[in-house]
Amino acid sequence: MMYQYILDLLPYKSSFRFVDEISYLDKDRVVGHYTLKEDAFFYEDHFPGNPVTPGAILTEIMAQIGLVVLGIYLVVGPEDAARPEAGDNPAFPLFTSVEVSFDQMVLPGQKITVISQKEYFRFGKLKCRVEMQDAAGNRIAKGVFSGIIKTISK
């Protein structure tokens, strides 16, 4: 799988990792995908009998793909760069701010795409314009995400 080394460096596990695939990644842009699992823990109570993906989860998906994946790449570099093995992640992303608006809801089982464009990355601070789309390319949400990408030294 393309960019598997970045997926291996994500600091999320199991039910809180919202990145299935990265289809494009360079120093300025990332495109990633996630399919909402129909049995995800948050659907049971949001809303019983009519499950809808919570906005907080959609925001988290946008942050993981649009900010964290790109931030790790900016610290670690391309696949052929010398770097630590998975588990020795040299980058720890801290999500600092978001401004997001939603255009439509997301249902269980839906596949979404997140496209993020870097605005700047300096002094460890990353700011991106992020958009979430459905499988047909219709916008679900858009926002501006910022975070600090801390370099971890052992």
| Total residue count of the chain as it appears in this document | 154
Q: Is 109 helix (H, G, I), strand (E, B) or coil?
A: coil
Cis peptide before 42 (omega within 30 of 0): no
- Specify the DSSP element, H or E, that contains 98: strand 91-102
Which residue type occupies 108?
P
DSSP-assigned letter for residue 39: T
Give the residue numbers annotated as catalytic, written as ranges: 46
